[in-house]
């Protein structure tokens, strides 16, 4: 197979070449780093497409997911279904109980409706993610350019300076982020899911498109953008939880 760095990815416009582009990126990510130093973050439909493609390539990937403690029951069932369907271990990352306790004690369970979601996401998502990524050299995500206005320029691969990792020897190192589905559309994702019988979250059948924590996610109408159901009380430019470098939330480490 032609090495990815010899392929001009901008010259791969069609559905089939986008699929091949994704396979090449996954192969690069999973063969260029030592075992245990690259992982795929899993939360939604896009990420299962990536897992399905990895399995089809005959490769192995470490998978992790963030359990904020406030997910829908359907999401927990979805995670179990994916784990069983692919015989794929999924590491669950949890927030620091002390951080959650302090937040809830001082501001209650629903402060994000008043103050915005940044602080809660910082405690429940960003902090545990930062701890995980500090141990990695590369991170595979399911981000797409058409998901929101804040993701319109997502590259296929980038260096994430906000979540810089550390080497196996404990020295600071660059963190490479792979976004193999960057140029896929929502239609591409769902066509793949149907064609390959990929499992998906049951909430999608109830009108949910982009799915996060239960209090911060609602179903959307037929003419609404897919992330309109996330933090719907905030501006569209703020519909990021801080996991990606376009809108990082600074969390004070104890």
Backbone angles phi, psi at 242, to 5 degrees: 100, 0
C-alpha pair distances (Å), 77 with each of 7, 51, 73, 80, 197: 39, 17, 6, 5, 17
Instruction: Supply the Cα-derived Rg of the chain in whole angstroms.
Output: 18
- 3-state DSSP call for residue 178? strand
User: What's the sign of the alpha-carbon dihedral 204, 205, 208, 211?
Assistant: negative
Across 116-225, where does the E strand assignment appear?
Answer: 138-140, 157-159, 165-166, 172-173, 176-178
Catalytic (active site) residue 120:
no
* Strand (E) or helix (H) holding 18: helix 15-31
Backbone angles phi, psi at 65, to 5 degrees: -140, 150
CB 46 within 8 A of CB 144: yes
Backbone angles phi, psi at 4, to 5 degrees: -60, -35
Q: Choose the catalytic residue: 120, 121, 213, 241.
A: 241
Q: Report the C-alpha gap between 199 and 52 in whole angstroms.
A: 10
CB 45 within 8 A of CB 204: yes
Active site residues: 241
């Amino acid at each position: 197979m032609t090495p990815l760095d010899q392929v001009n990815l901008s010259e791969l416009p069609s559905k089939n070449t986008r699929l091949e582009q994704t396979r090449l990126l996954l192969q690069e990510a999973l063969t260029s780093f030592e075992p245990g130093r690259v992982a795929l973050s899993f939360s939604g439909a896009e990420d299962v497409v990536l897992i399905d493609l990895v399995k089809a390539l005959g490769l192995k990937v470490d998978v992790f997911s963030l359990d904020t403690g406030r997910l829908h029951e359907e999401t927990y069932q979805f995670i179990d279904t994916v784990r069983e369907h692919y015989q794929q271990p999924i590491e669950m990352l949890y927030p620091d109980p002390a951080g959650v306790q302090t937040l809830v004690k001082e501001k209650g369970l629903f402060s994000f409706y008043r103050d915005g979601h940044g602080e809660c996401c910082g405690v429940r998502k960003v902090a545990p993610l930062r701890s995980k990524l500090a141990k990695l050299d590369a991170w595979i995500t399911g981000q797409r350019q058409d998901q929101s206005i804040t993701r319109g320029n997502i590259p296929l691969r980038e260096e994430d300076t906000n979540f810089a990792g550390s080497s196996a020897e404990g020295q600071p190192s660059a963190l490479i982020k792979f976004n193999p589905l960057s140029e896929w559309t929502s239609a591409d994702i769902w066509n793949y899911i149907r064609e390959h019988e990929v499992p998906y979250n049951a909430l999608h059948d109830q009108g949910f498109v982009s799915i996060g924590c239960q209090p911060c996610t609602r179903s959307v109408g037929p003419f609404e953008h897919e992330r309109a159901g996330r933090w719907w009380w905030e501006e569209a430019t703020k519909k990021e939880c801080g996991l990606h470098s376009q809108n990082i939330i600074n969390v004070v480490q104890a």
